[in-house]
Amino acid sequence: MSSCDHNCSSCGQNCGERDKESLLAPAHPQSNVKKIIAVVSGKGGVGKSLVTTLLATQMNKDGFKTAILDADITGPSIPTAFGVTERISGNDMGMLPAVSKKGISMMSVNLLLERATDPIIWRGVIIANTVKQFWSDTAWGDVDYMFVDMPPGTGDVPLTVFQSLPISGIIVVTSPQELVSMIVEKAVNMADMMNIPILALVENMSYFECGGCGKRHKIFGDSHIEEIAKKHGIKHIFQIPINPEIAKAVDSGTIEDFENDYFKDAKTLL
Ligand SMILES: Nc1ncnc2c1ncn2[C@@H]1O[C@H](COP(=O)(O)OP(=O)(O)OP(=O)(O)O)[C@@H](O)[C@H]1O
């Protein structure tokens, strides 16, 4: 182990040097992932998966090797958004991620199921172990940015995932309605407790822009994103409108082709 730098988070060797206290799962020996960014929300259905796909698509377009680990085991929607239906292949060395049309690597429980409609009725500990396996047993190769679509909420499963993966930053997704509640603050506080920096706050379904007159309508009320960001010292905010074209692109598996500039500045802050 002459070249050991004692950084167990990025090393796949299960040697005696491994930090016994660490809950981090080892990386696969054929993985070299530079940055892992977790996409979280205080509750389900606010557009966490959508934000994950749009961020990954933007970074891939900007020339970075990009991957998505779909840790939302009970509601996996990443492969559908990219139109990826191939089953994951594997051998004694582990699993190989599926790859989207434009080159984004991905791992999702839906790519292992016989039928994508099969429900996942698993207890939390099994779900958390599955995510660990997606990290440790997948030969991810060289990746600049891996986005993790986290399980929704702030319970046991997201906590275990946070402790198992060497996550370097968090993006919190919310909706205008949610911002008035304490739910988003729970996600922010959880990140603080984990000592992982919050890179940005994303307000999804921020407004609807009328195609006819161009006027912006705040369907879910006024935004409070700036106040919340200020309160928690979060420097970057993004806003995504309600756009029926988004839903159409997700449903038809063509999110990579969806033209938008919502995250055009992401590369400067991730
Ligand atoms: N800004 C938007 N405009 C139009 N449709 C949207 C928008 N954001 C999300 N949707 C649609 O809303 C649905 C829910 O979004 P998504 O799956 O990203 O939420 P989620 O927070 O990941 O949910 P869960 O936590 O349950 O997995 C999807 O069908 C998605 O296409």
Instruction: Please tell me the residue having the least CA distance from ligand 1 atom 6.
Output: 247
- The answer as to whether 16 is a domain residue is no
How much distance in Å is there from the Cα of 21 to the middle of ligand 1?
37
User: Domain for residue 158, yes or no?
Assistant: yes
| Ligand 1 geometric centre to CA of 239 (Å) | 14
By alpha-carbon position, which residue is closest to atom 11 of ligand 1? 247
Say yes or no: CB of residue 46 within 6 Å of ligand 1: yes
Ligand 1 atom closest to the CA of 149, numbered from 1 = 22
- Judge whether 146 lies within some domain: yes
Q: How large is the ipTM? A: 0.95
Residue 105 lies in a domain: yes
Considering only the C-alpha atoms of the chain, give the largest distance between any 2 of them, rounded to a whole number of Å: 66
Q: Is the pLDDT of residue 96 over 90?
A: yes
Within a domain: 9: no
CATH of the domain at 202: 3.40.50.300
Give the pLDDT of residue 55. 98
Question: What spacing in Å lies between the alpha carbon of 37 and ligand 1's midpoint?
Answer: 19
What number of other Cβ atoms are within 10 A of residue 123's Cβ? 9
Domain residue limits at 90: 32-265
More confident residue, 16 or 264: 264
Instruction: With respect to residue 177, please indicate whether it lies within any of the assigned structural domains.
Output: yes
User: Is 44 labeled as ligand-binding?
Assistant: yes
Average pLDDT, the chain: 88
Asked if residue 182 is part of any domain, the answer here is: yes
- Give DSSP secondary structure letters for 148-217: EEPPSSSSHHHHHHHHHS---EEEEEE-HHHHTSSHHHHHHHHHHHTT--EEEEEEET--EE-TTT--EE
- pLDDT-derived band at 37, boundaries 50, 70, 90: very high
Domain count across the chain: 1
Q: How far apart are the C-alpha atoms of 203 and 221, rounded to whole Å?
A: 12
> Does residue 246 line the site of ligand 1, with CB under 6 A?
yes
Which residues have CB under 8 Å from 35's CB, separation 6+? Answer: 144, 145, 146, 168, 169, 270
Highest averaged pLDDT of the listed ranges 185-189, 200-204, 228-232: 200-204
Q: Tens digit of pLDDT for each residue in 163-196?
A: 899 999 999 998 888 666 677 788 888 888 888 9
Percent of the chain predicted with pLDDT > 70? 90
- 176 in ligand 1 pocket by Cβ < 6 Å? no
Do 136 and 28 touch, CB atoms closer than 8 A?
Answer: yes
Give domain status of residue 4, yes or no. no
